[in-house]
Structure 1
């Protein structure tokens, strides 16, 4: 494979589930969200919306309590409660023109967040299991009625050095690419 900064970032990204207690700067948060906004979408409708929760407990907001309440909505409560930053990703149904295409665009925006977090020295994991309680999560976050939860992304500085984590097993190309 041709290696460059982009391919290296894609191939070295891993789902990180344990974080240090260090808060994530507003500059890093904004960078990830700006990168998210560059995902492709049909008709450039950009149907994604985000609610950011500073779960670090370093400010005087209610975000830490919100993080605790969100952690009760998933089997992965330890990940949610320990992540200093949570990004809830929504499909804005009012901005949607084709649900299937818009959900694919949401996947692209989530991948942009994961890749930008990795490139910034952060770790992140895409949490989908929390969707079993998406209505309750939306209530906790006071999301507008047109917002449909599609994922929560936990973000933080990795608690361990990931350089020795090895490569996550991937299927060989001949298992996933078929020729006519």
Structure 2
């Protein structure tokens, strides 16, 4: 039996506060740095860090990897979904400009995607591809993945079998939220379990 532990953590608050910022590369705010540092405990032990290339993830991941003296890997496929015309807008601005499209997106992001946005099905396939690559490459290790709310939703949808049309409304993923996934590899197959989800 070989066990891989994967801890996913969402980045903290970026500069500019809450908005749709899939591909908008804002760094962490001062509060965001506090949230991330506060989410790590003295009992945490990892063998490696995998991070999204976005500044709001990569800068913290680099700091932590340096402190812990462990390797860091940047995975482009773990970047956030692109929100198309909604990029850089707050929920209030989207509501004002696009009306019912906002609630349609949260209820069913597959058929209610923002204009010009990356399709959720494509996003899911991209994220799972990047996630599984590192799950295999770092099999048997304890891994921290620093990423985004959308990325965590896709990974949990994959592990728990959540339909993609429910993947954005089924659970909360606030800033610095942590989720632990355990992957057991044995002669009987590979078993994936969500061990904890701490908003």
Q: TM-score, normalised by structure 1?
A: 0.31
Provide TM-score, normalisation by structure 2. Answer: 0.29
